[in-house]
Structure 1
Amino acid sequence: MTTTDTAPAPTGPARPHPVTGGDRIFNLDMLRGLAVLGILAVNALSFAWPFEIYGDPESAPFAIAGANKIGTWVTDVFFHDKFRSLFSMLFGVSIFLVGGERSDKARGKLLRSRLFWLFVIGLIHGLGIWYGDILMHYAYTGLLMLLMRSMSAGKLLWIGGGISLFWGVVGAGMAILMANLPPEVRDGMGGPEISPEKIAATIEAVRTGGWIAAMTENLRAWAFVQGFSLALIPVTLPLMMLGLGLFKSGWLAGKGAIWTYLLAIAAGAAILAGLGWYRWQTLGVEDDPTGGLSAALAQFGFVITLGYAALLILLTRAGLKIITGRLAPVGRMAFTNYLTQSILMASLFYMPWGPLIYGQWGPAMIWSAVGGIWILQLIWSPLWLSRFEMGPLEWIWRCLTYGRMVPLMKRG
C-alpha cells in the first residue's frame, strides 16, 4: 500500500533527531521500489509454469543445471521470502500513515474503506489475471494490524521482531528435523508426487485451450493459495508490526545509530553467505547433503531483508541518492507496478493474446523477462510521475476510497 498522506507524529521513545516527512516518504518509496522489483523475481516462475512447479521447482521437466541452476540459485538465495517480508513491513507502516492513531475515528474509517477496496481489487486480480495475488491477504491482515497501530515503537519491535524470530527458529528446527529423518519416514510425510504426465497435460491445455482453459487453471491454483494465505496471518502480522516499529523509532528514516544499520547488514550478510553456500549444494541433487542447513537458513529471510534495507538507508544517508533515487519513483507507483507486472507476465506466458510460451522457458530464460520488466518500470515510473501526481491504479484506488474523483494531473 502506498501513500503520500501526511503522517501523524510518530509515538514512542524519544529520538535524538526528529523524523521529517520528506526523509520518511523518500525512504519508504525507495524501499517499496526495491520490494516491488524484487518480488517479481520470486513470482516469475508461477507465471511460466503450473502451480505445482512453483511449489517444487526441482520437479520441473527442465534440468536444474548450467544456466538454469544459476538462475534458480539467484532467486532462492537473494530474492525468495526477502521482498514479501519487506512488503509486509512497509504495509504495516502504511496502516499508520493512512489510519493515524486508534483514537482518530475519521482516519480509521478511511483506512477501513481503503482496505475494503484493496480486497476487491485483489479479488479481481487473483481471479482474472494471476492466482498468486497478495493484496487480499494484506487487506484482511491489515484489519488486524489497525488494532496495533497505536502501540509504541518499543512494543512493536519487541513483539513483531520476537515473533518473527520465533517462527524462524521453529521453521529452522523443522527443516533440520525433516532432513535427518529416515528416508522412508520422510517420503511418507511428503505431499502427493508430482506427475510429469499431469504437468505436461496442464501445459498443453493452457496453451491450446484459450482464455477459459487458462482461467480454469488459474482458479484451481487461486483456491489453494488463498487457503494457504490464511495460515500466513501469524507470520505476516508480526512483520507488519516490526515494520511499523522501525518506522516509529526513526530507523527507516535513517535516524538510528550507525551501529544498528551495520549490525543489520552484518547479520543479513552472514545468513546470506551461508544460505548461498548451502543452497548451491542442494540444487539438482535428490538428497540434501547439508542436513537441512540450507532450508534452515532460508527461514531467516527477514533478517536478510533488514540487511538490504539498512544498506539502502545508509546509502541514502550518505547522500548517494543517485543510486537509491532510481527506486523511489518505482515505489511511489508500487500498486500500479505490481499489477502491471502481472498483466505483462500473464500476457507473455498464458493469455491467448500473447506468444503462449507457458511451460517452455526455464529459470534462466525467465530472468530475461524479469530484467526486461525491471528496465521498463525503472524508465516509465519517473516519466509518468513527471506529469501525474500518482500512478494510474493508485489514483483509481484513492478515488474508490474517498468516494469521489481526486486530482491526477500535476498542477501547473
Structure 2
Amino acid sequence: MTAPERIREIDAVRGLALCGILPPNIVAMTGVHRGAPVDPGPAAHVYETLLHQRFFPLFSFLFGLGSVLFLRSARLRSDRPRDVLLARFGFLVLFGVAHQMLQPNEILLPYALAGIAVVLPASWLPRWATLVCGIAFTAASLAIDQGGITLIPGLFLLGMAAAEYDLPDLAGERGRSLAVVFAVTGAAAIALNVWQIAGGGAAFDTPLPATAGVVTAAAYATGLLMLLRVPGLGGALSFVLEPLGRLALTNYITASALILAADALLDLGERPRVTAAAGTALAILALQTAFSRLWLRRFRQGPLEWVWRCLTWWRLLPNALPSTGGRTAGTG
C-alpha cells in the first residue's frame, strides 16, 4: 500500500487555491457585509475581482483532476477501483457534515455528493465525452445560474478531462504552450474584470462575475506554473505552497476553526476592517505553512488526509516516514 509519487506542481496550485479561498471564507464566516452596492468602493472591487469566485473554480477543477489520479492509483491496488473511489467520496461526506458545524457554507459535502453523482458515472465515459460534458455543464451554470455551487459538476468534469488528456505532464513539458495559455487567459481575465468593475452593482445580476472568476482562476493557475519555472522564485513559491497543498483537507478544515477563533478575539464581523481581515488571513496561512512543513518532515500525509485514506481502504495504513529520512509522498 505504498503511495505513488506526487505531482509537485499540482500540490503547489492546490496550495495557491487554499490561499485564495481563505479570505472569502473569512468574509462569509464572520458576518462581514460584502453585498454588491450600486457603487462599490475600491476595497470591494479588489475583493470581487481578485478573490471572490476566483479560487473556488480552481479548487473544484483540481478535485476532478485528483479524482482521476486517485482512480489510476486504485487500479494498481484493487480489482474494484471504482468501489474504492466511492468509499473515498462516501467518507468525505462525513468530513463535510462534521465541518458544516463550523462552516455552514463549506464545500466538502457538495464535493462528496457531486463526486458520487458526477465523477463516478463519468469515469466510464471516453475522455472526449468528459471534456464536452464539462464544457457544456460549465457554460450552462454560467448562463443559467450565474455560477456558484452549480459550477461544481462542470469543473469536476473539466478537471477529469485534463487528467485524461495528461495535462499535468504536458504543462511540465511544453513551456511555450503554457505561456500562450497564460497570455490568453490573463488578457481575458483583465478584460472581464474591468468590465465587471465598469458594470458596478448591476454586474452581479449577470453571468459576468462568475465567468470572470473561471477565467481568472485559469490565469492564476497557468501564471503560477510559469513562475515555478523561474530559478529562485519557483523554489520560494514551492516552499510555501506545496506543503499547504499536500495538507489541503487538514488546512481547509482547521482554517475554519482558526477563523472563528480570530472573529471571537477581533470582532471581525461586528467591526469590519480590511486590515484585520487581511492580517487574519496572513496569520492563518503562516501558521498552517509552518505546521505543514513540520508535519511533513515526519509523515507522508497530513493528519486528516491519513485518516481519510485509512477509512477509504478500511485498514490502518502507515504514515510515519522511515527514521532514515527517506520521504515517500503520495496521493492515495
| TM-score clears 0.5 | yes
The secondary structure found in structure 1 opposite 2:168 is coil
1:323-334 paired onto structure 2 within 5 Å = 323-325=236-238, 326-334=240-248
**Residue 116 and residue 33 in structure 1: after superposition, are their counterparts in 2 closer, same or farther (change >3 A)?**
same
Asked if structure 1 preserves the Cα contact closer than 8 Å seen for 2:36 and 2:204, the reply is no
Q: Which ranges of structure 2 fall in alignment gaps of 5 or more residues?
A: 324-332
- 2:183 aligned residue (266, 269, 276): 266
CA distance in 2, matches of 1:98, 1:242: 16
C-alpha distance in structure 1 between counterparts of 2:276 and 2:192, whole Å = 24
- Residues 5 and 97 in structure 1, CA contact (< 8 A), matched pair in contact too: no
Query: Conserved in 1, the CA contact under 8 Å of 2:15 and 2:241?
Result: yes
> Are 1:376 and 2:287 matched, yes or no?
yes
Of the three residues 139, 142, 148, the one matched with 1:168 is 142
C-alpha distance in structure 1 between counterparts of 2:25 and 2:104, whole Å: 11
Q: Percent identity of the aligned residues?
A: 26
Q: Per the alignment, do residues 131 and 316 of structure 1 end up closer, same or farther by CA in structure 2, a change over 3 Å counting?
A: same
The letter of the residue matching 1:265 is F
2:123 matched to 1:157?
no
Q: Is residue 133 of structure 1 aligned with residue 133 of structure 2? A: no
Match runs of 1:230-245 below 5 Å: 232=150, 235-245=151-161
Partner of 1:302: 214
- In 2 relative to 1, CA 255–359 (structure 1 residues): closer, same or farther, beyond 3 Å? same
Cα separation, 2, equivalents of 1:27 and 1:159: 26
The CA distance in 2 between the partners of 1:385 and 1:102, in whole Å, is 23
Is 2:1 the partner of 1:87?
no
TM score, norm. by length of structure 1: 0.68
1:108-129 CA distance string (max 9 Å, x none)? 2221111111101110110x21
Corresponding residue number in structure 1 for 2:304: 393
The count of corresponding residues between Structure 1 and Structure 2 is 315
Q: Flag the 1:64–1:303 CA change in 2: closer, same or farther, 3 A.
A: closer
2:17 to 35, 51, 56: 35
Q: 2:251 corresponds to which residue? A: 337
Q: Which residue of 2 is the match for residue 74 of structure 1?
A: 46
Name the residue aligned to 1:100: 72
After superposition, where does 1:131-210 map in structure 2 within 5 Å? 131-143=104-116, 144-169=118-143
The question of 1:277 aligning with 2:194 is answered: yes
Instruction: Letter of the 1:409 partner, please give it.
Output: A
Structure 2 CA distance for partners of 1:318 and 1:245, relative to 1, 3 Å:
farther
> For the Cα contact (< 8 Å) 2:246–2:301, is it kept in 1?
yes
Post-superposition offset of 1:257: 4.2
CA separation of 1:296/1:96 partners in 2, compared to 1, >3 Å: closer, same or farther?
closer
Contact 1:267 1:303 in 2 (8 A): no
Say if 1:258 and 1:388 are closer, same or farther in 2 by CA, change over 3 A: closer
Q: Is the 8 A contact 2:89 2:112 kept in 1?
A: yes
Deviation at 1:64, TM superposition (A): 5.7
Residue 223 of structure 1 is matched in structure 2 by none
User: Would the aligned equivalents of 2:268 and 2:277 in 1 still touch at CA under 8 Å?
Assistant: no
Structure of greater Rg: 1
Deviations 1:284-323 (A, max 9, x none): xxx64xxx49954323222221121112223334565314
For residues 361-394 of structure 1, what are the alpha-carbon distances to aligned partners after superposition, in whole Å with 9 as ceiling and x for unaligned? 2344312211221222222211211122111111
Query: How far apart in 2 are the matches of 1:154 and 1:259?
Result: 24
Q: Deviations over 1:156-206 (max 9, x none)?
A: 33331343245435567xx9xxxxxxxxxxxxxxxxxxxxxxxxxxxxxxx
What CA deviation, in whole Å up to 9, does each residue of 1:330-377 have, x standing for no partner? 100000000111010012225xxx555532223443122112212222
Distance 1:279 1:367 in 2: 23
Q: Does the C-alpha gap of structure 1 residues 158 and 262 become closer, same or farther in structure 2, counting only changes over 3 Å?
A: farther
Letter in 1 for 2:55: F
For residue 366 of structure 1, the aligned residue among 262, 269, 277 is 277
* SS of aligned partner of 2:58: helix
Matched, 1:246 2:162: yes
Q: Distance in 2 between matches of 1:33 and 1:81?
A: 16
Q: How far is 1:38 from its partner?
A: 0.8
Query: What's the counterpart of residue 121 of structure 1?
Result: 95
Does the aligned pair in 1 maintain the 2:61–2:156 contact within 8 Å?
Answer: yes
* Structure 1 runs not aligned, ≥5 long: 7-20, 176-227
Q: Which residue of 21, 26, 33 corresponds with 1:44?
A: 26
* Cα distance in structure 2, aligned partners of 1:30 and 1:409: 22
Q: What's the counterpart of residue 234 of structure 2?
A: 321
